Each structure stands twice: as C-alpha cells, then as structure tokens.
Amino acid sequence: MDIFSKCKSYTLAKECREKGIYPYFHALESKQDTVVIMEGARRIMLGSNNYLGLTINQDVIDAAADAVRNLGTGCSGSRFLNGTLKMHLELEAELSSFLHKEGCVTFSTGFQSNLGIISSLVGLGDYVLCDRENHASIYDGCRLSMGKMLRYRHSDMADLEKKLKSIPEKAGILIVTDGVFSMSGDIAKLPEICDLAEKYGARVMVDDAHGLGVIGEGGRGTASHFGLEDKVDVIMGTFSKSLASLGGYMAASEVVCEYVRHNSRPFIFSASMTPATCAAALAALRHLEAHPELPKQLMAITEYARKGFISRGIPIKETDAPIIPIYTNSMENTLIKAKQLYDHGVFVNSVLPPAVAPNECMLRTSYMATLTKELIDEALDIFVEVFAN
C-alpha cells in the first residue's frame, strides 16, 4: 500500500475551496493590528491572539530591529551549546521575577515548550492527567513522555479525583491544564485542582498561553488570578500572544528548571530564540510591567463587545476571558458565516472538529486592548447583518 494514499483520498479542503468557504491561510498584507489589510481588503481583526496590541508598539518594534542590527539574524544553534545570548538570560530572569518563581527556561516556540517540559518531567512509571480540552501541544507532550496519560472530562473535578484515586500510591503524578482554554474561553478550576493535587501528592502545571497579560495581578496569569502562585508548580506560556513575539517559557523552582535544561530533548536539540524574537518579548514584558492597566483595558473592551452581542441577540457563550465564542453548530453553517463576515470586513476564526464535537462548531472571536468601541460597534452591526440571513 502506498503511504501517500491517505493524502490522495483527503478531499475536504478541496471541497471547501470549491464551495468558496475555505477558512484558512488568509494572507495578511499589513501589521497585526485592530484593522488589517487581508487579501487586498480592510478587515476588522476579531481573530487575533495579540491581546495587548503590542505587535505594533514602537518600543517593541525598535527593540527587535536593534537586536538584528547588533546581534544578527540568528543564533545558529541550541541554547545548550552555542546559542545562548546574554539577552536570553535577561528575559528568563525578568520573567521569573514577574511570575514570582525562582527560575525560568525559554523555548523556541510555545508548542515546543509543552513538548519539552512534559516529556522531561513525566518519566517511566509516572502519570500525567490531562483535561480533555487541553491544547494539542499538551497532548503531544504527554505522548512524547514515557509516562501514562489519563484524560479527565473538561473541568470535571469528580472525574479528575476518580482518575487520581486509580493511580498507584508510589507513582509520580503531574496534573496539566490550560489556564484559559483557547477555544471556549473557560478558565480552569485551579483552586479545586490544587486541592486535589495536595490531597493525592500530585504536582500542577498550568499552560498560561492565553492567561499571561490577560488575567491576574498586572496580567500575571491564572495562578495569580486565583492567588495560587505558590500552589502551581510549573507555569508554561508563550511569547506569541500578549508578548507580541515568538517562543515559549517554563517558570518553576530552580531545581526543576535545572533538570529540564539538562534533560529536555526539544530544548537541547533545537535552535534558540533569535535575537529579534527575544528582544521583542523582553520589550513587551517590560511594557506590560510598566502598564499594569493594559489587562483591565482589554477586559473592558471585551465586556463592551459581550454586552453588544447579547443586546443584538447574537448567540454567544459568556466567558471571563477576551475570547467570545459564537454558536454556529454545524460545520457548513460555521464556514458560511465565517466567509460572510470576512466578505463584509470582519475576520474571525472557525472552530471545527476535532477541536470541538461535530455539532458544536463555533466562531471564535478574540479581542485586543487597543480595539475601540467604534470598531466594535461596526463589527457588531456586520454580525447582525450576517446572522439575520
């Protein structure tokens, strides 16, 4: 059998293109901003993870440009060998201080961060417990580890405890959860998770990719939001969202960081963050520290949009994050609505299987602190026009 036979039989993308409702790979022709030029036309951006709007912040842009001029375009190797910059160490030190942790390790991407952290910490005979709606990178990190993965129903603490009870007493246990779930906008039940971890001798890891810069004191994320920074053992996050760059990190005790630095294959065998991405992330972090009002500004504009959807009768899922899902149910209806919104000047993301169940498809809207009420109102009027059909 030809190994490429599966490729030849895959026709879904082609069928969607033929129907004119293919939702992916729309090309940006401008900066990632509240309004973008995409494929030659103006679109209001309600589908970005640029939560604080810092991709267009001049200090962040200047820092990246200066890093290229002074340090070149790349590091040519891994952090482990020849690819560590002094700036990498500065970023790790400032981020660990911001998150109130002893140590920090940076990775080249957020996806790679979860691969590197989980696969090194969860060994043979260990167990990793995973919320069913966790990000794909967490699942792949679990698969890469030598331990056994047990999935519990989304935010179902009774099911989590049932799984914990089934684990041998002498086994090591890591509970991994998204802090803010990227598709639904749900916030993890972290107090209950930490209580169960303490009861059963487990450690807790939070993927805060969508929590940093969004919730918590000054944008410190989910652990800060609940006052549980001392109970969460490992905080993972990315630089590609609120911090307007590319890469990821782990903040934890120094003893855990030291172990991961010397045992994580994705960390050891990957090239380090480039000078530009490292400098941009560091400048964005400093900007966030200097402007702790930004997360509140983000939540205020999100709340304005949320009330606007409700008052206009658009069927949304109410969340406490800058992510507002809109129910569209079937895949075809979702793709049609996304295309109509796009054609009328609003970009949103289509959430389809396997990210959701087949009849629970949705449009994911997400917000930036730099959005204005005028832009939100313009977008909402377009939603009303599209959903009236």
Q: Give catalytic residues, as residue numbers.
A: 182, 210, 241
Residue 317, class by beta-carbon neighbours within 10 Å (0-12 exposed, 13-18 middle, 19+ buried)? Answer: middle
Cα–Cα distances (Å) from 153 to 27, 156, 190, in that order, read: 36, 5, 15
Task: Locate all alpha helices (DSSP H) within the chain, ordered by sequence.
Answer: 5-9, 12-19, 58-71, 86-98, 110-121, 136-144, 157-165, 190-200, 222-225, 254-263, 265-268, 275-290, 294-311, 331-344, 373-387
Distance CA 253, CA 151 (A): 26
Please tell me whether residue 65 adopts helix, strand or coil conformation. helix
- Which of 9, 63, 14 lies closest to 277 in space, CA to CA? 63
Query: Which residue type, as a one-letter code, is found at position 69?
Result: R
Both tokens of 116, joined, read 């590197």
Q: Residues 363, 351: contact at Cβ < 8 Å?
A: yes
Q: Residues 246, 239: contact at Cβ < 8 Å?
A: yes
Distance CA 265, CA 100 (A): 26
Distance CA 44, CA 380 (A): 11
Please tell me whether residue 350 adopts helix, strand or coil conformation. strand
Q: Residues 248, 110: contact at Cβ < 8 Å?
A: yes
HSE of 208 in the Cβ direction (CA atoms, 13 Å)?
Answer: 30
Q: Residues 190, 222: contact at Cβ < 8 Å?
A: yes
CA 389 to chain centre: 33
Please tell me whether residue 240 adopts helix, strand or coil conformation. coil
